[in-house]
Structure 1
Amino acid sequence: MRARTLLDAHCHLQEINIIERVLEEANRAGVTDFICNGIQENDWNQVLELNIINSRIIPCIGIHPWYINSAIDGWEERMEALLASSNKIYVGEIGLDHYKSKLAPKMLQEDFFRRQIRIALKYRRLMSIHCVSAFGKVIKILRQEMKNSRVPFIMHSYEGPWEMTQELLAHFPNEVMFSLSMVSVWKAKHQSVIERIPLTNILIETDSPSQIIKEMIPEPLEEEKPQNFPKYLPLVFSQLCRIKNSSEEETAEQLYHNFQKILPDAHV
């Protein structure tokens, strides 16, 4: 069996300073690969440049539902041009956030979500999906848009109820991965859902620099608003092992294979 390797399935390294130190600390913690997500067109080039600096940083580009109003005409063509330039650029972070629908109306969010799904399908790319208070709508759209063809997708920082989890597994058993963050594994009400999700459909993430649970950090945090970093991914991993009552070796091995399944071209 390989030495334990952990893979960060969702982060925003373009928002973190001193990236060399952050990657060095992650590597010491056993975290070797990172799916880095853009959230608006203004940061797509930053994400792609990080991949040039370190090929272990896997780039995704997308328009997050919070930033739809920043989109400029022609974004679809520019997104497609970037995807056409390399088969190792993926789609994310996209999705729906009906909790923050004041930032962009629900109908507009759904329109952007569908358009980006269609681009991902056209170029056969993995998608990283944001979903808050909209699980039923996300599932409906995915079923409609992926009726004739499918691509793998990550449900980022997953906190959905079991009913929605079950539906995603029923319709997309080979495509869906539920990516668990600190927030996902910390909440007691969601741990019962995680217990029932097959390990074959799970990934873990930090969502760096967001989604930090201070109570999970063993070291003192001096900052008033501390950031999350990939080096903290082992904390999510350990909590997952406890929830699933599985060994670290078995769990790490399966997470590695799950990552390879959705990104077979990644050199993990």
Structure 2
Amino acid sequence: MWTRFIDAHLHLQDSRYGDQVDLVIDKARKSGVCSMFCNASKEKDWPIILDLSAQYPWIIPFLGIHPWYAQTTTKDWETRLYDSLSLCEYGAGIGETGLDKARPQEFEQQIALLEVHLDIALDLGLPVSLHCVRCWGKLIEILERRAALYKLPTVMIHSFNGSLESMKRLTRLGCYISFSSWIADPEHIKLRETFLETPLELVLLETDAPDQINPALADQEDLITSYNEPTLITAIYRAAAYQRGLHIENFAEQIWQNATVFANRALIR
């Protein structure tokens, strides 16, 4: 069986890749990475990501405002986001957005932006990639309230590092849980336990490249750059499949099927 991998969250537009981004993408492709969900952090990322997606159709554009950059939004940003997403003929999503208590001075603005992102996702029928740090209760409260009032868009919690109880509340809402390389680290015992308890049909895997390079992860000897790269998703898959006691081919195919709801028609191009 041909094993195909998908990186559910990364940032190929990041300036740290510079003029090596095409080499990074090519190496990942040769490693069996057949799709990548490329997430924006701020508005100036949007055209770069759309250009990458046009050049490489297997790169799915996710456009939005990261909570760290909530203060950078300018008038009518939401209209420009709506219009940019409406132009995507195939797969697209919203992200990354969310909440981060590490930036408490902007927290109310983060909440307001998150609500707008979720409204646009629902209106356009697009999935959302959510960031959450130190405020799981508030994020889940917002999602539960919206689920009770109308419905939720398809939601991925990226680079999950919350508690077992948070995972259970999120998956009861139908949210997908994306794990990064830290599940390969034996010191992250509670996270690994939560990964094993997460329903397999709601699991995704990601690198969050170029961030989150993890010394515990294999296959780092021949990277193009000194940063995390999407080619390392294959090592995350192997570690995750081993922990689950599953053959890598069957495990990877299940993750691929999980991810199709985020890619719309793009994966069948």
Q: For each residue in 1:194-230, what CA deviation from the matched residue of structure 2 results, as whole angstroms up to 9, or x when unmatched?
A: 111111110111111001102314444899x930001
Corresponding residue number in structure 2 for 1:19:
21
2:183 touches 2:191 (CA, 8 Å); kept in 1?
A: yes
2:130 touches 2:156 (CA, 8 Å); kept in 1?
A: yes
Q: Secondary structure at the match of 2:233?
A: helix
What pairs with 1:57-206 in structure 2 (closer than 5 Å)?
Answer: 57-87=59-89, 88-102=91-105, 105-146=106-147, 147-170=149-172, 172-173=173-174, 176-186=175-185, 187-206=188-207
Q: For each residue in 1:153-183, what CA deviation from the matched residue of structure 2 results, as whole angstroms up to 9, or x when unmatched?
A: 110001110111111122x23xx11111112
1:194 touches 1:243 (CA, 8 Å); kept in 2?
A: no
Query: Structure 2 counterpart of 1:144, which letter?
Result: R
TM-score normalised by structure 2 residue count: 0.91
1:33 touches 1:56 (CA, 8 Å); kept in 2?
A: yes
Sequence identity of aligned pairs in percent?
28
Classify 1:235/1:263 alpha carbon distance in 2 versus 1 (closer, same or farther; 3 Å): same
Corresponding residue number in structure 2 for 1:240:
240
Q: Secondary structure at the match of 1:216?
A: coil
Query: Structure 2 counterpart of 1:177, which letter?
Result: Y
Q: Secondary structure at the match of 2:253?
A: helix
Q: Secondary structure at the match of 2:216?
A: helix
CA–CA distance in 1 between the matches of 2:98 and 2:10? 16
Query: Structure 2 counterpart of 1:132, which letter?
Result: V
What pairs with 1:217-236 in structure 2 (closer than 5 Å)?
Answer: 217-220=218-221, 226-236=226-236
CA–CA distance in 1 between the matches of 2:43 and 2:211? 20
CA–CA distance in 2 between the matches of 1:148 and 1:214? 43
CA–CA distance in 2 between the matches of 1:55 and 1:222? 23
Q: Which runs of 5+ in 1 are unaligned?
A: none
Q: For each residue in 1:56-99, what CA deviation from the matched residue of structure 2 results, as whole angstroms up to 9, or x when unmatched?
A: 11001100000011111110111111122235331000000112
CA–CA distance in 1 between the matches of 2:55 and 2:262? 23
Classify 1:228/1:238 alpha carbon distance in 2 versus 1 (closer, same or farther; 3 Å): same
Deviation beyond 3 Å, 4+ runs, structure 1: 217-223
Query: Structure 1 counterpart of 2:101, which letter?
Result: H
Query: Structure 1 counterpart of 2:229, which letter?
Result: F
Classify 1:133/1:185 alpha carbon distance in 2 versus 1 (closer, same or farther; 3 Å): farther
CA–CA distance in 2 between the matches of 1:38 and 1:148? 27
Q: Which runs of 5+ in 2 are unaligned?
A: none
Cα-Cα RMSD: 1.9
Displacement of 1:253 in angstroms is 1.4
1:114 touches 1:145 (CA, 8 Å); kept in 2?
A: no
1:117 touches 1:145 (CA, 8 Å); kept in 2?
A: no
Corresponding residue number in structure 2 for 1:9:
8
Displacement of 1:257 in angstroms is 0.8
Corresponding residue number in structure 1 for 2:254:
254
CA–CA distance in 1 between the matches of 2:220 and 2:24? 16
CA–CA distance in 1 between the matches of 2:211 and 2:163? 22
Classify 1:209/1:222 alpha carbon distance in 2 versus 1 (closer, same or farther; 3 Å): closer
CA–CA distance in 1 between the matches of 2:83 and 2:264? 22
